[in-house]
Amino acid sequence: MRNFLLFISCVFFTFLVAGLNSKIYAQDKPFVVVLDAGHGGHDSGNRGNGYYEKKIALSIALKIGAQLEKLSGIKVIYTRKKDVFVDLIDRAAIANKADADLFVSIHCDAFTSSKAFGAGTFVLGLHENERNFKVAQKENSVIFLEENYEQKYDGFNPNDPESVISLILMQETYLDQSIAAASTIQNSFVDNLQRKDRTVKQAGFVVLKYTYMPSVLVETGFLTNSAEGSFLNSSKGQNQMANAISKAIINYKNQRQADVQNEVITTVNIEPEKKIKYQKASNLLFKIQIAASKNRITTKAYNFKGLSPVSREKSGKIYRYFYQSTFNYDDAKDHLNTAKKRGYSNAFLVVYNGDKKISISDALELLK
C-alpha cells in the first residue's frame, strides 16, 4: 500500500428553513437501526493472530440486535445474518430502503505493530492523518472483490487519496448527527468497558458514502494485538462489546427524540385549496442550494445523491453547490422537494434578481 498524508478541510453551513429539518419521530414510527457486520463470505476481513474479522463482526452485530429487539420502539435490520458476502453499495441500499435512523457498521482493526489496542469509531469526512487514511483504505479494499466495481463505484480507487475527496460531500448533511452517535458509542466503550479511548475520527469509508442517514463505523479492537484479539474472539468479549454498543444506540435514540421534541416549529398559514401560480419573471432566477464546502467537488450526479444538473459557485473560500435553475417559482418548489427527498434536508431556495441575491419574500412581492 502506498503511504499518503492527506489533510482535507471541510466547512458545512447549516441554514434554518421553515419547518423541521430532522426526521419526525412519530409515536407509531419505530427508530430503525441497521446493523452492518463487516466483510463475510469469501472476504474474511483481517486475520490478525489467525482470527476471522468477519466472524467476530457478525457475532457482535447479532448480539447487539438481540438486545435492541427486546425493546419497544426500535426496529433492527441486518445487512447480513450469516457468513455471506454483501457488496458495500448493497449494504447502504438496505439502510436507505429501510429509511433508517442510524447505520452502524461493525469491524475489527489491524495494525503493523502488535502493541496497538483499543476501540475506535469513525464517521465519513476529514482525513486528519495517514493512519485514518490507512484504516479507510483497508476497509475500502473490499470493493476489489466485487464484480464490476469500477462501474459500480464510478471509478473510485481506495488507494488514491484524491479519489476519497468525492466521498465527503455525500454525508455532510448528517455529519453532526453521525459524530454525536459515534461519540455516544465511544464514550460507552470508555465508561462501561474501560477501553482505551481512541476517540472519534473521520475517514473516507465507501460503506458510509451511500447511506442517507447518520452513519458510524466501529473498529471494536485490534486482532493483531494478542490479548485484544483473544478478548474479541471470546463470547465474553463479544457480549461486552455488544452491551456497550447497544447501550450507546439506546442513548443516542433517546437524545435524538428529545432534541426533536424540543424543537420549535414555526408554521405559516396557507390555504391548501389555493395554490398561487407565479408567472415567469425574466429577472428572477431560482436555484436550490444543497451544500457548501471548502472542497471543489466535481458536479457529477454521483457526488450529489443522483441530483442533476448541479452547478458550483465560489464565494470567498467557500464553494456553494446548487441543484437546478429556473425562472418559475412553482418549479423551484418542486425541485426543492426533490432535493430534500434525496437526503438534503437543509436545502433551501436562493433567488437572484439579475446579479443580486434577494430574499424569498422580496421575490414573491415582485412576482405578484
Q: What is the pLDDT of residues 205-252, one digit of tens each?
A: 655 666 778 889 999 999 999 999 999 999 999 999 999 999 999 999
Q: How many helices (H) and strands (E) does the chain have?
A: 11, 11
pLDDT per position as a tens digit, 276-291: 444 445 578 999 988 8
Which residues are CB-neighbours of 276 under 8 A, at least 6 positions away? none
Cell numbers found for residue 62: 447479532
Mean pLDDT of 133-138: 50
Residue type at 265 in one-letter notation:
I
Strand order in the sheet with 310-315: 310-315, 318-326, 284-293, 348-353, 356-358
All domains of the chain in start order, with CATH: 31-261 (3.40.630.40), 284-367 (3.30.70.1070)
Residue with cell 433508517: 100
* pLDDT at residue 33, as a whole number: 97
Task: Kindly tell me if the per-residue pLDDT of 98 is higher than 70.
Answer: yes
* CA 234 distance to own-chain centroid: 30
How confident is residue 329, by pLDDT bands cut at 50, 70 and 90?
A: confident
- The model's pTM is 0.59
Q: How far apart are CA 122 and CA 139, in angstroms?
A: 12
Helix axes 53-68, 235-262, angle to 10 degrees: 50
Q: Mean pLDDT: which of 13-17, 119-123, 162-166 is highest? A: 119-123
Of all residues in the chain, what percent carry a pLDDT higher than 90? 38
Beta strands in the chain (DSSP E): 31-37, 74-78, 102-109, 119-124, 197-203, 215-222, 284-293, 310-315, 318-326, 348-353, 356-358
* Beta strands 102-109 and 31-37, pairing class: parallel
Mean pLDDT, all residues of the chain: 76
